[in-house]
A and B are shown apart, each in its own frame.
Chain A
Amino acid sequence: MPIAGQVAIIGSASTPFGVLHDRGYLELLGEAARGAIADAGVTQERVEAAWLGTAEPGVAALLGDAGTAVTEAIAFAPKPVTRVSTFCCTGMEAVRAAAMAIAAGEHELVLAVGAEKMRDVSPRGSLVARTANLTHPTLAKGRSAPGQFALLANRYLQVYGHELADLAAVAVKNHEHAQRNPLAHFRTPVTVEQVLAAPRVAEPLGVLDCTPTTDGAAAVILASVDWAREHADDYAVIEAISLAVVDGYYAGFFHGEPDYLGFRVTREAAARAYAAAAIESPREQLDVVECHDCFTITELVNYEDLGLCGRGEGVELLRSGATTAGGDVPVNLSGGLQACGHPVGATGVRMIKEIADQVIGRAGERQVGGARRGLAHTLGGPGVASCVAIIGAPR
């Protein structure tokens, strides 16, 4: 059977996101996994298989290089564990892979967990150093993650005539939201002036335009909707989950197709997810959205690529207040990657937990009244992979 409408999220958990010097990779992974199992109200013995999302084991002593990390962290032997890795879509892809196992009828209960330990080294020693040192010796040499998205920012501002303050407004909104998320890396509000005055990272993006480098883990337990209906107190339904991949890693930098004003891959993933969930008007049919705001510019183009507004209209949508708490389609009420941070493998799982909590009605101070359906979105690599999940309340 297909995943859409047939797979339920029956439990979830997340560690705090932040610079967690007192906890190692295995502790984070274990804390999230055990938390999700407890939240589901099942015993670990009943969980039959697991999928692990870790994108950068190279910065954590190769822990998470294979699914065996789950086996070690929660004493899961001899059950099957598979590691997946799809750049920044890694966590959501772990959920998608686990959901396929439920949809296929292979397992009754499965675990999807994402974990990343990035801050045992400095931020520059983390992804920046890996990007510089371990990628192709010549192609795209000089690239960093912020530099990649800064290319969009400069072109977006130039083509549409917007200003840096329009980018900064995204950071202001998401940091404001994060004050109501006790698990966020940063919970301090920022002003446009502070964002603009922050040191530049990759022009025009400054430090406060960028997601921080963060440790964290998140997990969900999946079952069939039939199982959930019979056994679970609360659950959410995966109405659709779609992964799109449009190119290779280095090819993505060079191929002539991108217009540097958005990401085709998000539009592809969203189109498939919307078709599966029978969504024709995203802005009207979605109550809440978590999207991949790794940099401020990314959230603006995500609005457009996810169909919340037309192309080139992202700034207007933000200015309208529609995506702010209390708006008609609030985006990143968790604080997003801007304030939660981005432990790469964990992020997609955290987002799905956030939307599941919203439609279950247990999102605390962030709760959107009457939320019945939400969207989670991740974007990976040089804009070559994207995952879009539609999570709804049971019908």
Chain B
Amino acid sequence: MSAWLFDAGVTIGRRRVPDRHRRRAVANFDEDVVTLAADAAASALEQAPAPPEVVILASLSLPYAEGGSAQLLVELLRLPSETVVMELGATLRDGLLAVRLADGQLAAGAQRVLVVGAHRARAEERDGGDGAVALLLGRDGGLARLTPGVAHAEELRDRWRLPGDPALRIADPSFADVYGAARVARLMAPRREGADAAQAVVSCPAPAAAARAERDLGGTGDTLVARTGVLGAAHPLLRLLDSLEQPTLLLAASGGLGESLLCEPEAAASALAARARDAVAGGDEVDAVATVVAGVDFHPYQSAPRAWRERGQDLRLEGLRFGDRVHYPPPAVPPPGHEHESGVAVALARTGTVLTQTRDHVFPGAPVTQMVVLDLDDGARFYAQVAAGEELEIGDRARLVPRRLHDGGSDSGTNFIQYFWKASQCR
């Protein structure tokens, strides 16, 4: 049994920050694994005939250490509430492990599975970058056949974090290189079942070690990492897309855990590879991470029941249609002329035009908070912050994107993360 790749989406942090031998992709302060994953997944699902029954999120930087993050994707992507969600968060190889799990779900009867790898690098990850890759997988007839191969497990720590650790612990690089993830890849490669003709692609947290291992196995080396950094669990998935022009054996290893995946693309898959490379090639060059605007730190009133009640209208971005007009937030009572109607819940248009704007210098947190009023394409109006690092002017076209709004909460029992929609440039 194999899974088939039908579509994909790639979101890479917009900023490119030079760091030693490479540029790291750095997302803005209002982005995290959930928003990056949602953005990539939205692209992957754009042409999907029906929503996936299963969502698997693999990330080493999940915003919620406990309590779940993937359910946010279900809301932000307007997926059915009966969607099965899974989270993986052990090591970088979990990107490929997610494909193995998806393969099992498809074999068990699922029609479509969404696999998302996403990463927001920690400060101490000097080789790390920010980004997300989403794959829409299904049964026969897609762009590439994906067949899980051998796995590996042994007690071999190259990076780890204990409960309460503020930072990642990373083993001596020489150990990681010789005995770490790259070694695991070398161990797995000879066991490439039916993949003799495939090129080998190795992903592990240490780029130099991965490159050496890959060359040892006859591969060409990782050309993406120099432009993005290592994207955690998303990295092997990005490399999968990059190698869609020929059969590839993907190997991913870290922490003594290894996964392998054989990818056999059809000719039409090269378009996906091109799209992935375009996403990597974009971005805004900045000199240092310090130029990224600092995060917001304030303490708004919020409550879990309120958040739960309003998820339908904010994360799913749903309004109520009465006649030919969409109202957001949904009105408490029907508008005049529609007194006996209950309205139809609809997804708001995600694009619109800037009616007016201001750059606010007194709202706490960021030095300047730009606010815009958008006239959405469906006639609804939306009042929103502009996504960090972007600017909009009157008359500009804009789209709504999910972003991390704030983490505040003066009550320690309710300081959960608030996601909402911001306005972003239409690219």
**CB-based nearest A residue for B394:** A158
In the assembled complex, A369 has its CB within 8 A of some CB on chain B: no
Interface of chain A residues 188 through 221 with chain B (CB within 8 A):
199-205
Instruction: Please state if B358 and A202 are interface contacts (CB–CB under 8 Å).
Output: yes
A147-B364 in contact (CB<8A): no
CB of B363 within 8 A of CB of A144, answer yes
When chains A and B are docked, how far (Å) is the Cα of A146 from the Cα of B327? Answer: 26
B363 / chain A contacts, CB cutoff of 8 Å? 128, 132, 142-144, 147
> CB-CB < 8 A to A129: which residues of B?
364
User: In the complex, which of the residues B325, B327, B356, B406 contacts A141, with contact meaning CB atoms closer than 8 Å?
Assistant: B406
Could you say which residues of chain B place their CB within 8 Å of the CB of A151? Answer: 356-358, 371, 373
Chain A residues, Cβ within 8 Å of B329: 139, 250-251, 254
Residue A150 interfacial (CB < 8 Å): yes
Closest Cβ of chain A to B389, distance in Å, is 15
One digit per residue, 1 when the CB lies within 8 angstroms of any chain A CB and 0 when it does not, for chain B 369-383 equals 101010100011111
CB atoms of A141 and B373 under 8 A apart: no
Contact B358 A203 (CB under 8 A): yes
Contact call B361/A202, Cβ cutoff below 8 A: yes
B394, A155: Cβ atoms under 8 Å? yes
* A370 within 8 Å of B (CB atoms): no
Residue of A nearest to B358 (CB): A150
Q: Are B380 and A142 in contact (CB under 8 A)?
A: no
Q: Name the residue of chain A whose CB is nearest to the CB of B359.
A: A203
Known: A141-B420, A200-B361, A202-B362. A132 touches B298 (CB 8 A): yes
- Complex CA distance for A260 and B394, rounded to whole angstroms: 12
Size bracket of the B interface: 35 or more
> Residue of A at shortest CB range from B416?
A137
Contact of A143 with B371 at beta-carbon distance under 8 Å, contacts A137-B300, A158-B394, A251-B331 already known? yes
Enumerate A163-202 residues with CB–CB distance to B below 8 Å. 199-202
User: What are the residues of chain B within 8 A of A205 when measuring CB–CB?
Assistant: 358
Asked if residues A254 and B328 are in contact (CB atoms below 8 Å), the reply is: yes
Inter-chain contacts of A251 with B (CB < 8 A)? 329, 331
- State whether A144 and B362 are in contact (beta carbons under 8 Å apart), knowing that A253-B383, A256-B379 are contacts in the complex: yes
Q: Which of B121-129, B176-184, B301-309 contacts A (4 or more CB under 8 A)?
A: B301-309
Count of A interface residues, CB-CB < 8 Å: 39
1/0 contact string of B331-346 vs chain A (CB within 8 Å): 1100000000000000
List the A side residues contacting B405 at CB < 8 Å: 137-138, 141
Please tell me if the beta carbons of B361 and A260 are within 8 angstroms of each other in the complex: no
Question: Is the Cβ of A133 less than 8 Å from the Cβ of B383?
Answer: no
Nearest residue (CB) in A for B356 is A155
Interface string of A241-259 (1 = CB under 8 A from B): 0000000101101111000
Q: Which residue of B has the minimal Cβ distance to A129?
A: B364
> Which of chain A's residues have a CB closer than 8 A to the CB of B301?
133-135, 137
Q: Once bound together, how far apart are the Cα atoms of A255 and B361, in whole Å?
A: 25
Q: Is A124 an interface residue (CB 8 A)?
A: yes
B383 — which chain A residues lie within 8 A by C-beta?
140, 143, 253-254
CB-based contact A255/B327 at 8 Å = yes
B371 contacts A138, C-beta separation under 8 Å? no
Interface 1/0 per residue, A114-143 and B, CB below 8 Å: 000000000010001100111101111111
The interface residues of chain A lying within 8 Å CB-to-CB of B2 are: none
Cβ-based interface call for A340 (8 A): no
Residues of A within 8 A of B359 (CB): 200, 202-203
Does B385 have its Cβ within 8 Å of any Cβ on chain A? yes
Given the complex, which residues of B lie within 8 Å of A135, measured CB to CB? 300-301
Give residues 382-421 of B contacting A (CB, 8 Å): 382-385, 394, 405-406, 408, 410, 418, 420
CB-based nearest A residue for B303: A137
Minimum CB–CB distance from A346 to chain B (whole Å) comes to 22
Inside 8 A of B266's CB, which chain A residues have their CB?
none
B residues in contact with A143, CB < 8 Å:
360, 363, 371, 383
B300 and A199 contact, CB distance less than 8 A: no
Asked if A152 is at the interface (CB within 8 A of a chain B CB), the reply is yes
User: Are A146 and B418 in contact, CB atoms less than 8 angstroms apart?
Assistant: no
Q: How far is the CB of A152 from chain B (nearest CB, A)?
A: 7
A144 touches B360 (CB 8 A): yes
Q: Which of A150, A253, A256 has the most CB of B within 10 A?
A: A256
Check B350 for interface membership: any CB of A closer than 8 A: no
Residues of A within 8 A of B394 (CB): 154-155, 158
Contacts of A154 in B (CB 8 A): 356-358, 394
Q: Contact: A260 with B362, CB < 8 Å?
A: no
Give the complex CA separation of A141 and B408 in angstroms.
12
Q: How far is the CA of A142 from the CA of B381 in the complex (A)?
A: 16
- Inter-subunit contact A255/B381 (CB<8 Å): yes
CB of B421, distance to nearest CB on chain A (Å): 9
Tell me whether B360 and A146 are in contact (CB under 8 A). yes
Q: How far, in whole Å, are A151 and B370 apart by their CA atoms in the complex?
A: 10
Q: With A and B bound together, what is the CA distance between A204 and B307 in angstroms?
A: 34
B362 and A138 within 8 A (CB): no
Cα separation A42 to B384 with both chains bound (whole Å): 53
With A133-B298, A133-B301, A154-B394 already in contact, the answer to whether A138 and B418 are too (CB < 8 A) is yes
Complex interface: chain B residues within 8 A of A153 (CB):
358
Q: Which residues of B291-321 have CB atoms within 8 Å of chain A's CB atoms?
A: 298-302, 306-307, 310, 314
10 closest A-B pairs by CB: A150-B358, A137-B302, A155-B356, A147-B360, A142-B385, A138-B420, A256-B381, A203-B359, A253-B383, A202-B360
**Could you list 30 examples of A-B contacts with CB < 8 Å?**
A132-B365, A133-B299, A133-B300, A133-B301, A134-B300, A134-B301, A137-B300, A137-B405, A138-B405, A139-B314, A141-B420, A142-B371, A143-B360, A147-B358, A147-B369, A151-B356, A151-B357, A151-B371, A151-B373, A201-B362, A202-B358, A202-B359, A203-B361, A248-B332, A250-B329, A251-B331, A254-B328, A254-B329, A254-B383, A256-B379
